Amino acid sequence: MTLFEHFRPEERPFIEKALDWLEGVNHRHEPRLTDFLDPRQQNVLKNLAARFPDLSLSPFGGYAQAERCRVFIHHDYWEPEQEDFALTPLRITSSAPSFSQLKHKDFLGSLTGVGLKRDKYGDILLHQNEVQIIVAKEIASYVLLNLNQVHRSSVHLESMRLEELIPSSEEWKELHLTVSSTRADVVAGDVFRLSRSKILPPIRAGHLKVNWMVVDSPSYPLREGDMVSLRGYGRFKVIKDEGVTRKGNTRLEIGLLIN
């Protein structure tokens, strides 16, 4: 069995890149800082790093509960400082009445619209009167110069200190569903109220993630504890499998992220 057989085929490019990072640090004894990695990528990197007993991984995304982190790869004798992670938090404000109605996806779309790849910025923290984003220090000035509108709202950006970051308080709506199958297309279609013809194209296009891993198979079985996201629609988690009904359907308790 080869190393790649432990992972999904679409993860191979990231695995090859991660192995290059680890081997480079191991041979040259020089630390390396990654771009922002999602939790799945962090877990893959952690599994690969187990092959290098002298190396350590230090993840940091700007605050203790950060989901997306830059990872400092180093030998055990290194002690990374906060500055080593090269993070710049930015505050986004606006006087537009519609600003408070903007969603996470609106900010994602605007950041992509100014030419940024997802691996150059971390968590997006939504609050009532402002939004905070953490970006790689090397592109902070570019974002400050070019991001002047989100959706239809003009915005103002300014740098801030990491100590000023406030984690978002996530709000989840509890749903109880009875589904014919725990297939990804069936459950996601029910949660987001999409017909089969509407749910299949985005899944096959790679827009669905389960536990931060791209899943392009509509028949992929969801399990208790899975975190699921569909680009442009939102995120939910399978809280509990409540068993099978007399008719053979499955009852699920779902948590739907509503902010």
* Domain CATH code at residue 49: 3.30.1370.160
Shared-domain flag, residues 36 and 96: no
Note whether 22 and 14 are within 8 A (CB).
no
Shared-domain flag, residues 65 and 92: no
- Cα 205 to Cα 233: distance, rounded to the nearest angstrom: 14
pLDDT digits (tens, 9 = 90+) for 88-102: 999 999 999 989 889
pLDDT band at 103 (very low <50, low <70, confident <90, very high): confident
Shared-domain flag, residues 115 and 192: no
CATH number of the domain that 106 lies in? 3.30.70.330
CATH number of the domain that 239 lies in? 3.10.290.10
Q: Quick one: pLDDT at residue 2?
A: 64
pLDDT digits (tens, 9 = 90+) for 159-195: 999 999 999 877 889 999 999 999 999 999 999 999 9
Give the end of a domain, one of 164, 189, 204. Answer: 164
Tally of structural domains, the chain: 3
Show the tokens assigned to 224: 């208790």
DSSP alpha helix (H) spans, the chain: 12-28, 39-49, 104-113, 140-146, 184-192, 196-204
Predicted model pTM: 0.82
Q: Quick one: pLDDT at residue 168?
A: 84
Order of strands across the sheet that contains 87-93: 121-126, 131-136, 87-93, 156-159
Shared-domain flag, residues 76 and 112: no
Shared-domain flag, residues 148 and 194: no
- Cα 6 to Cα 218: distance, rounded to the nearest angstrom: 21
Q: Which residues of 5-34 are buried (b: 16+ CB within 10 A; e: fewer)?
A: eeeeeebeebbeebbebbeebbeeeebebb
Give the end of a domain, one of 83, 98, 122. Answer: 83
Shared-domain flag, residues 118 and 142: yes
Q: Quick one: pLDDT at residue 4?
A: 62
Shared-domain flag, residues 142 and 178: no
Shared-domain flag, residues 107 and 144: yes
pLDDT digits (tens, 9 = 90+) for 132-167: 999 999 999 999 999 999 988 999 999 999 999 999
CA–CA distance from 228 to each of 13, 25, 179 (Å)? 22, 34, 16
Shared-domain flag, residues 56 and 68: yes
Give the end of a domain, one of 83, 115, 134. Answer: 83
Residue 141's domain comprises 87-164
* Degrees, nearest 5: CA angle 156-160-162: 140
pLDDT digits (tens, 9 = 90+) for 111-138: 999 999 999 999 999 998 899 999 999 9
